Structure 1
Amino acid sequence: MTVTLKDFYADWCGPCKTQDPILEELEADYDEDVSFEKIDVDEAEDVANEYQVRSIPTIVVENDDGVVERFVGVTQREQLEDAIESAGA
């Protein structure tokens, strides 16, 4: 099962900067099992629209079956871990 965490962000977004260290810790812990993607909404508007991102930060956790969970706003590590685990990582 492929698990992907997509982080929709922008350089000018304050809450996104708050989210970054949490995601960096998760990436260090789940590096083998989860693919982490940072998506700049200003540069990848088409991808942001495809995922209907209206606010940032938005984090989407997916597996082979599709979107497992989606978070809008700064999200704590525990919630993200739960979503990653339920996605199959």
Structure 2
Amino acid sequence: MSKVVLMDFFAEWCGPCKMQDPILEELKKKFGDKVEFKKVDVDTNYELASKFTIHAVPTLIIEKDGAVFKRYTGVTRGNVLESDLNAALK
């Protein structure tokens, strides 16, 4: 089975990031241990944010087997993420 990771690049001061949180929490419940969810604070993880060229938050990146599968900037709907996560798991 493929290794699928959803990285949530956020900042504590970011209002839209707070709107994204409950959507991601719901997805964590649905996918359980099939998807690894990681939160990355861009203010304290500058090197990782730079590696992924993060210019705005929230930015979500789905990685499959270590490669970027899908990338989103701004608040992203749960059904869009769910669909793409399911595709990444195939």
Which bin holds the TM-score, normalised by the shorter protein? over 0.9
Partner of 1:70: 71
Q: What SS is found at the alignment partner of 2:36? A: strand
CA RMSD of aligned residues (A): 1.0
Q: What SS is found at the alignment partner of 1:86? A: helix
Partner of 1:14: 15
Question: Deviation per CA, 1:43-89, whole angstroms, max 9, x where unpaired?
Answer: 00000010001000000001115111000000000110111011116
Identify the structure with the greater helix proportion: 2
The separation in 1 between residues aligned to 2:25 and 2:33, in whole angstroms, is: 14
- TM-score, length basis structure 1: 0.96
Partner of 1:48: 49
Alpha-carbon distance, 1:42 to partner = 0.2
Structure 2 alignment gaps of length 5 or more:
none
Question: Deviation per CA, 1:2-50, whole angstroms, max 9, x where unpaired?
Answer: 0000000000000000000000000111122000000000000000010
Partner of 1:30: 31
Which amino acid in structure 2 is aligned with residue 43 of structure 1? T
**Gap change, CA 1:11 and 1:65, over 3 Å in 2:** closer
Structure 1 alignment gaps of length 5 or more:
none
The separation in 2 between residues aligned to 1:50 and 1:80, in whole angstroms, is: 22
Partner of 2:86: 85
Q: What SS is found at the alignment partner of 1:32? A: helix
- TM-score, length basis structure 2: 0.95
Point out 4+ residue stretches in structure 1 off by more than 4 angstroms.
Answer: none
